Amino acid sequence: MTDFQRIPVIDLGTPDASAGIGRACETAGFLYVTGHGVPAEVVDGVFDAARWFFARPLPEREALDVAASPCFRGYVPMGIAGPGVPRRLVEAFQVMLDLGPDDPDVRAGSVMHGPNRWPEGAAFRAALEAYYVAMSGLTDRLLDAFARALDLDPGHFRPFFRKPLTQLRLLHYPPQPPDEEAQGVEAHTDTGAFTILLQDQIGGLEVRNRAGDWIAATPVPGSFVINIGDMMQSWTDGRFVSTPHRVANRSGRGRISVPFFANPDYDAVAVPLSGDASRALACGPHVEAAYRAAWPLRA
């Protein structure tokens, strides 16, 4: 694999976008995308919603504590630590595909399916739902681009994302002194297929290359940061790489970011492109195990 010293910027509107995306996924495992067509008002709306929510009094946020949810929806308090995750200097609010009581998976008691939980305020919910729809559309475009880069039919990955376990998460990293060594999120790779990240202009995301150097993912106005997750690395026989990254907010100011974790359906099975069924990955249990390790779940 070729090492990298910078994160490529790919314009989705160009004819050779898929080729550039493929090269970026094979080397850095990270890229910026521009020309994505997501309206600025949708982006501004989700930023406004995040700032509004994290400015609410703590009791209002804690009323939506994820520990009281049967399906990993709601508020993740500052410093929460699951069985397999250290304490992090970040708080979050997260939603997934919103499913009512008549949904068959909800009726069956699946912990990965269910209704979202919302604070009072219709504008907040509307902003997140609009953003979720926009990111779902961008997910489809990226799935098609990944397929073309791998010399597959453009729709190859689409059938695995019909009722996806995608998660939209608002993140707030509190102000820290510039010389503070504590990290908002420790070095890690993402569990699922890939992530679409919206970040503000504060910065703090760093990506580790194979030489062990940390490369700053400096905010690029009008872009999203895309990174490959462990599942897609396995799915592509290691051709696309899941790269370690971390967040260290040394700006002295609060930082907002909005990751959208693109995960396949619960019952999807990702067989490596080589066809080696012995290394097939059951997507739902894989994501569920990661969520159980990260956050407490109401018994």
Spell out the residues 6+ positions from residue 209 whose beta carbon is closer than 8 angstroms to its own.
3, 4, 5, 28, 215, 243
* pLDDT tens digit at each of 299 positions of the chain: 568 899 999 999 999 999 999 999 999 999 999 999 999 999 999 999 999 999 999 999 999 999 899 999 999 998 765 555 556 788 999 999 999 999 999 999 999 999 999 999 899 999 999 999 999 999 999 999 999 999 999 999 999 999 999 999 999 998 876 665 556 777 889 999 999 999 999 988 999 999 999 999 999 999 999 999 999 999 999 999 999 999 888 788 899 999 999 999 999 999 999 999 999 999 999 999 999 888 766 54
> Which amino acid does the sequence have at 160?
F
Report the C-alpha gap between 64 and 60 in whole angstroms: 7
State residue 282's pLDDT score. 96
pLDDT of residue 176: 72
CB 80 within 8 A of CB 64: no
Q: How much is the pLDDT for 174?
A: 86
pLDDT for the residue numbered 89: 81
Per DSSP bridges, beta strands 214-216 and 205-208 are antiparallel
110-145: b or e for each residue (b if 16 or more CB lie within 10 Å)?
Answer: bebbbbbbbbeeeebbebbebbbebbbebbeebbbb
Both tokens assigned to 167: 């998660």
Any idea which residue has 């699922």 for tokens? 192
- Residue ranges of alpha helices (H) inside the chain are 17-27, 40-54, 58-62, 104-107, 122-149, 230-235, 283-294
- Structural domains in the chain, CATH included, are 9-187+196-294 (2.60.120.330)
Threshold 0.85, pTM exceeds: yes
Q: How far is C-alpha 254 from the geometric centre of its chain's CA atoms?
A: 20
pLDDT tens string 165-189: 999 999 999 887 666 555 677 788 9
- Who contacts 275 (Cβ-Cβ below 8 Å, separation ≥6)? none
What does the pLDDT read at residue 299?
A: 45
User: What confidence score (pLDDT) does residue 83 get?
Assistant: 58
